[in-house]
Amino acid sequence: MEERFRVFKEVAESKNITLSAKKLHMSQPSISLQIQNLEDQYGARFFDRTNKGVTLTKEGQIFYAHVRSVLDLLSNAREQMHALAKDQRSLIYLGATLTIGEYILPNILAFLYRTHPDVDFKVKIANTELIAQDVLEKKMHIGLIEGPVSRHKDLNVESFWEDELVVVVPYSHPWASRISISLAELPHERFVTREVGSGTRRVMENALKERGLDPDQLNVTMELGSTQAIKQLVSAGLGITIISSLTVSRECDQKVFKMLKIQDSPIYRPLSILTNARTTQTKDERVLINLLHDHSLLSDVLSEDYSELEEHTSMVRGR
């Protein structure tokens, strides 16, 4: 039965029996016979056949959704059985956007290395769109992203943290004695920001517009593609910035920076977990997801200094 389902799925996706036969290394009559047997078994016509190929009927569309689910479940079961049979270590493919990958993930992976040493991670740092696509294509088990993502019926999106964007100034700045700032004061200072098109900058500009401040009013003197580079320029007194509070918390504790809340209305962006809606998470994947949802534990993990364990995390960085 599984073979018939795979044949049906391939024909439904390629919309061509000849192409399906080549890909599956089967004859066209054999493909047609498999489809016919399925239609006879379920008492429905699944395809409309024309000279240009085949298309799913309404019954076929319903059947296709169920076939995908069944094949996904069988694939997951096969992978888990294989891992048990070979006594393999669990391997989780994880994707993260830049801020999460640089400032959140190292602590999480170091914590999990201590508490679940039998789990390995392969991590790819990329933008939201690439991570979402990899999750949909099952190249990644879990994606961690900043900000919004396009909706897709096969993509589960769960918020796990609210990241506040704050005004950051050098500790020697006249504003360093304050705890908040108004939007009206910002255009009077030199600004260092992320490059046009970055997620952080897009969230910042949209939030400023919603609060009545045109981003063009800011005196942007430098645009950089790296959060770390922005921090270095701000610490040198070459400007101020609006940046994720997560990225400067340690420097604020060390009195390198002072973080100021925005008086008019704080700016928050969600950090979210992406998973494939057609895939069931393994026990080890659920451990990571549950950690992300445990705000108290996650706060403790992020406040710890795990730098000495970073060499033990297995990370593959990509763009």
Q: Report the CATH number at residue 279.
A: 3.40.190.10
Q: Is 289 in the same domain as 211?
A: no
What is the distance between the alpha carbons of residues 92 and 87, in angstroms, rounded to a whole number? Answer: 16
What is the per-residue pLDDT for 316? 36
Residues 263 and 174 in one domain: yes
Distance separating alpha carbons of residues 39 and 34, to the nearest angstrom: 9
Q: Check whether residue 78 and residue 105 sit in a common domain.
A: no
Q: Write out pLDDT tens, residues 209-222.
A: 999 999 999 999 99
pLDDT band at 22 (very low <50, low <70, confident <90, very high): confident
Same domain, 262 and 167: yes
CATH number of residue 66's parent domain: 1.10.10.10
Is this prediction's pTM over 0.85? no
Nearest to 199 by CA among 104, 129, 133: 129
- Where does a domain end: 28, 54, 84? 84
Q: Are 279 and 72 in contact (CB under 8 A)?
A: yes
The domain boundary, picked from 32, 51, 84, lies at: 84
Instruction: Give CA 71 to chain center in angstroms.
Output: 24
Write down the residue that tokens 């992203």 correspond to: 145
Is pLDDT above 90 for 143?
yes
pLDDT (tens digit, 9 = 90+) per residue, 179-209? 999 999 999 999 999 888 677 788 889 889 9
Say if residue 128 is in the same domain as residue 177. no
- The residue among 249, 268, 287 that closes a domain is 268
| Per-residue model confidence (pLDDT) at position 24 | 86
Q: By mean pLDDT, which of 6-10, 88-92, 114-118 is the weakest?
A: 88-92
Per-residue pLDDT at 50 exceeds 70: yes
**Shared-domain flag, residues 173 and 205:** yes
Average pLDDT of every residue of the chain: 87
| Domain match, 143 and 169 both | no
Co-location of 143 and 292 in the same domain: yes
pLDDT tens digits, 241-289 = 999 888 898 899 899 999 999 987 888 888 999 999 988 888 899 999 9
223, 295: one domain: no
SS (H, E, C) 45-105: CCEEEECCEEEECHHHHHHHHHHHHHHHHHHHHHHHHHHHHHCCCEEEEEEECHHHHHHCH
Nearest partner of 141 among 87, 94, 76, judged by Cα: 94
pLDDT at 313 over 50: no
| Residue 89, pLDDT score | 56
Residues 57 and 131 in one domain: no
Percent of the chain with pLDDT over 90: 45
> 182-220: buried (b, 16+ CB within 10 Å) or exposed (e) per residue?
ebeebeebbbbbbeeebbbbebbbebbeeeebebeebeb
Q: How many domains does the chain have?
A: 3
Q: Residue 310 sits in which domain range?
A: 90-161+270-317
